[in-house]
A and B are shown apart, each in its own frame.
Chain A
Amino acid sequence: MKIKNLMALTMTACMGVSLLAGCSTTTGGGTAAGSDTASEAPAASGGKVIKIGVFEPMTGENGGGGMQEAYGARYANQVHPTVTIDGEEYRIELVEVDNKSDKTEAVNAAQKLVSENVSVVIGSYGSGVSIAAGQIFEDARIPAIGASCTNPQVTQGNDYYFRVCFLDPFQGTIMANYAMDNGAQTAAVITQLGDDYSSGLGSFFKSAFAELGGTIVSEEQFQTNQTDFKAILSNIKAQNPDIIFAPSSITTAPLIIKQARELGITATIAAGDTWENSTVIENAGDSAEGVVLSTFFDEAEPANNEASSFITGFKAYLKDNGQEEIIPAVSALGYDAYLCAVKAIEDAGSTDGTAICEALKNVSLDGVTGSISFDDNGDANKDMAFIKTIENGQFKFLTTTTIK
């Protein structure tokens, strides 16, 4: 009985504390304990504040990538902490929320941003959660700039969603081009069932490759959380394709790579932008040599001056934060998204979402991933992709490609 009562008291106390903390969070200010704001916001030192939301997964399947994108945005906030609206200087405050790589949570997290009264949102890593939150941002008339979500559904039919990266149809064609250019006549495609990014990109590659005259000899799917790909890979091995295209998350990447090599498959393994993550190399080890992927950015080939200063500055920032000094492409995109947001706010001359949205349509600037401007759909007019390969345990830049 004693334990029961002690527990009852403790739980009531905990709930009381959380109630207080929770209340203070939702009223917007946030104490150090209850706030979701990650950047160090000094107590209002006078001056106006404009809020930019950072909508990323910090945990869950895509937590790694989300954190990297957030770093990009945070660094950008460090480099460009203020914006001038109508002659007045506003301090930019980042409000970060975690959508946990889950659509259901994404809806909650998006609503949180809406009630925090952010003017623009940057995010998310992961097309699924972006699609889920898109409707909410549209209803609340807050423009959102996706950094690395490549699925076309994110911006389609949504006036308020923009993105600074290329799309999956583009990416699929790029990889198909690369495959063709390197002598591949037959290909196998492996996609994740139930995942819109993987299935979407896979099907774009398929159609592009077929159009170029190649043959898809094998199409396999796997379930989420599946760890055994031997059966699928055995089937593929029997068909002997020249290249295997396997767009999937970084959870499954090392598994596919390692198991393929173990079965004796020597064909090149290729994938999309999600594979550009050091965990793939770490977990796949030697088997990862020769893997090819498409991505948005490469630190060895700065596109312009802004990129060069970004590269040096961000590397120092990464070092300060205890991260590896390799710049993930999604961080560069996060940085670019922030730049676009700032430019749009300046052009609009207001903190109102609708005005900023209108301004975004006409933004044109040189970001660190190249020049950025938006088309009618809100997609970036990007015509260049970087192809990288894994060599000696590192990502090595191979070539840039454009669509023929």
Chain B
Amino acid sequence: MSLTTFLQHCLTGISLGGAYALIAIGYTLVYGILRLINFAHGDIFMMAGYFMIFAMSSFPWFIAVPVVLLATVLLGIVIEKVAYRPLRTAPRMSAMISAIGVSYLLQNLATYLFTALPKGYPEIPFLKKIFRIGGLSASLVTFLTPVLTLIIVYVLMVLINKTKIGMAMRAVSRDYDTAALMGIKINHVITFTFAVGSLLAAVGSLLYFTDRMTVFPFSGSLPGLKCFVAAVFGGIGSIPGAVIGGFILGLGETALVAMGYSTFSDAFTFVLLIIILLIKPTGLFGEKITDKV
């Protein structure tokens, strides 16, 4: 493999990894607080893509982007309120089934409203400008994705560590009941978490779909699952872990396809999951949790 091709693959991998990282953070945030795998997260990501299509057909891009971000955040908050809040005291299985149900509902809703045929994703003009460096060729968005990811993660870390709401989030994820007893408004914290997660998913979808150029109802389910694996790999509850997990996943997948084993690119994700669960169940950066009898 020539150097150019290798570098091209690296670029693809990092860009993919960046998008995965943004989505993985959403999973890790929600799981850290609610101990719930939000199966619907991938589909929120997909719906954000569709929102963009409709927003761009009515507004210029600098209005459409905030509209889409807002709409996705609203969607996330509504889902939390309707599907997860009533089941907070229910056994874990019910909550998980509810998450699967929401995911299923979003997919079918998208199929019904927008048909299963893929819809072209509108282009934000400057993002699709193609740059050629040496033998490498990619659009601006490919280069932009990992950079933006890192910036966002930095901002998020500041938020978590230096603000009051961030401290509340950490408290709730450390010990739910005690935090409630200490007067932290649990519902607000959870709503905020979902809002942040959905916001990240919306940004991720903007970057991801601009690169991929079409949206169809099932474009969120598999990436969603993979991103959850990335979050687990990095250590559920840890944001840097989720980011690292996302990048490793993106690079690994690209490497496999580059080497000709594209059949196993999906399987690779799950093999990674099994391995990490066997060797270090808490993930790369996770903390050990003791089980009280």
CB distance from A330 to the nearest CB of B (A): 15
Binary contact track A145-163/B, C-beta < 8 Å → 1, others 0 = 0000000000000000000
Q: How many residues of B contact A (CB 8 A)?
A: 39
A227 to B257, CA, bound (A): 13
Cβ-defined contact, B218 with A63, below 8 A: no
- Residue from B120, B139, B263 within 8 A of A221 (CB atoms): B263
Cβ-defined contact, A227 with B219, below 8 A: yes
Binary contact track A220-249/B, C-beta < 8 Å → 1, others 0 = 111101011011101101100000000000
Task: Indicate whether A221 sits within 8 Å of B118 (C-beta atoms), given known contacts A227-B214, A228-B16, A238-B1.
Answer: no
Q: Which of A349-371 contact B (CB under 8 A)?
A: none
Cβ-defined contact, A222 with B12, below 8 A: no
Count of A-B contacts with CB under 8 A? 96
Q: How many residues of A contact B (CB 8 A)?
A: 34
Chain B residues with Cβ under 8 A from A259's Cβ?
213
Cβ-defined contact, A254 with B120, below 8 A: yes
Chain B residues with Cβ under 8 A from A49's Cβ?
none
A229 to B206, CA, bound (A): 18
Cβ-defined contact, B5 with A64, below 8 A: no
Chain B residues with Cβ under 8 A from A64's Cβ?
117
Task: Indicate whether A251 sits within 8 Å of B118 (C-beta atoms), given known contacts A231-B9, A234-B12, A262-B130.
Answer: yes
- Residue from A59, A250, A255, A262 within 8 A of B111 (CB atoms): A59
- Residue from A225, A237, A264 within 8 A of B219 (CB atoms): A225
Q: Does residue A263 face the partner (Cβ distance < 8 Å to B)?
A: yes
Q: Does residue A61 face the partner (Cβ distance < 8 Å to B)?
A: yes
Chain A residues with Cβ under 8 A from B117's Cβ?
63-64, 250-251, 279
Chain B residues with Cβ under 8 A from A227's Cβ?
212, 214, 219
Chain B residues with Cβ under 8 A from A235's Cβ?
5, 257-258, 260
- Residue from B8, B120, B253, B266 within 8 A of A234 (CB atoms): B8
A121 to B120, CA, bound (A): 34
Task: Indicate whether A223 sits within 8 Å of B262 (C-beta atoms), given known contacts A254-B214, A283-B120.
Answer: yes
Cβ-defined contact, A263 with B263, below 8 A: no
CB distance from A243 to the nearest CB of B (A): 20
Chain A residues with Cβ under 8 A from B1's Cβ?
238
A232 to B213, CA, bound (A): 17
Q: Does residue A193 face the partner (Cβ distance < 8 Å to B)?
A: yes
Binary contact track A265-308/B, C-beta < 8 Å → 1, others 0 = 00000000000000100110100000000000000000000000
Q: Does residue A16 face the partner (Cβ distance < 8 Å to B)?
A: no
CB distance from A269 to the nearest CB of B (A): 15
Chain A residues with Cβ under 8 A from B214's Cβ?
227, 251, 254-255, 283
Binary contact track B191-221/A, C-beta < 8 Å → 1, others 0 = 0000000000000000000011110101101
Q: Does residue A258 face the partner (Cβ distance < 8 Å to B)?
A: yes
Chain A residues with Cβ under 8 A from B260's Cβ?
220, 235
Chain B residues with Cβ under 8 A from A225's Cβ?
218-219, 221-222
Q: Does residue B137 face the partner (Cβ distance < 8 Å to A)?
A: yes
Chain B residues with Cβ under 8 A from A262's Cβ?
130, 137-139
Cβ-defined contact, A251 with B216, below 8 A: yes
CB distance from A166 to the nearest CB of B (A): 25
Closest B residue to A285 by CB, please name it. Answer: B120
Q: Does residue A81 face the partner (Cβ distance < 8 Å to B)?
A: no
CB distance from A3 to the nearest CB of B (A): 11
A260 to B109, CA, bound (A): 31
Binary contact track A50-71/B, C-beta < 8 Å → 1, others 0 = 0000000001110110000000
Cβ-defined contact, B137 with A231, below 8 A: no
Cβ-defined contact, B266 with A223, below 8 A: yes
Q: Does residue B265 face the partner (Cβ distance < 8 Å to A)?
A: yes
A59 to B216, CA, bound (A): 13
Cβ-defined contact, A282 with B120, below 8 A: yes
Cβ-defined contact, B120 with A63, below 8 A: no
- Residue from A63, A101, A232, A282 within 8 A of B262 (CB atoms): A232
A46 to B158, CA, bound (A): 80
Q: Which of B1-39 contact A (CB under 8 A)?
A: 1-2, 4-5, 8-9, 12-13, 16
Cβ-defined contact, A258 with B213, below 8 A: yes
Closest A residue to B265 by CB, please name it. Answer: A223
CB distance from A153 to the nearest CB of B (A): 22
CB distance from B213 to the nearest CB of A (A): 5
A159 to B73, CA, bound (A): 57
A19 to B253, CA, bound (A): 49
CB distance from B23 to the nearest CB of A (A): 14
A225 to B213, CA, bound (A): 14
Q: Does residue B132 face the partner (Cβ distance < 8 Å to A)?
A: yes
Chain B residues with Cβ under 8 A from A285's Cβ?
120
Binary contact track B111-122/A, C-beta < 8 Å → 1, others 0 = 100011111100
Cβ-defined contact, B120 with A231, below 8 A: no
A71 to B187, CA, bound (A): 53
Q: Does residue B149 face the partner (Cβ distance < 8 Å to A)?
A: no
CB distance from A322 to the nearest CB of B (A): 15
Instruction: Name the residue among B1, B214, B266 with the largest chain A CB count within 10 angstroms.
Output: B214
Chain A residues with Cβ under 8 A from B115's Cβ?
59, 63
CB distance from A315 to the nearest CB of B (A): 23
Q: Does residue B72 face the partner (Cβ distance < 8 Å to A)?
A: no
A108 to B16, CA, bound (A): 40
A59 to B4, CA, bound (A): 42
Q: Does residue B173 face the partner (Cβ distance < 8 Å to A)?
A: no
Q: Does residue B254 face the partner (Cβ distance < 8 Å to A)?
A: yes
A59 to B13, CA, bound (A): 34
Chain A residues with Cβ under 8 A from B212's Cβ?
227-228, 255
Cβ-defined contact, B213 with A255, below 8 A: yes
A230 to B221, CA, bound (A): 20
CB distance from B21 to the nearest CB of A (A): 15
Instruction: List, sorted by A's number, 19 A–B pairs whose CB atoms are closer than 8 Å.
Output: A59-B111, A59-B116, A60-B116, A63-B115, A63-B116, A63-B117, A193-B263, A223-B263, A225-B219, A227-B212, A230-B8, A230-B16, A231-B258, A232-B257, A234-B5, A238-B5, A258-B213, A262-B139, A264-B137
Known: A59-B111, A230-B254, A234-B5. 15 other contacts (CB 8 A): A59-B115, A63-B116, A221-B263, A223-B266, A228-B16, A228-B211, A228-B212, A231-B13, A232-B257, A234-B9, A235-B258, A251-B214, A255-B212, A283-B119, A283-B213
3 nearest A-B residue pairs (beta carbon): A231-B257, A264-B137, A283-B120
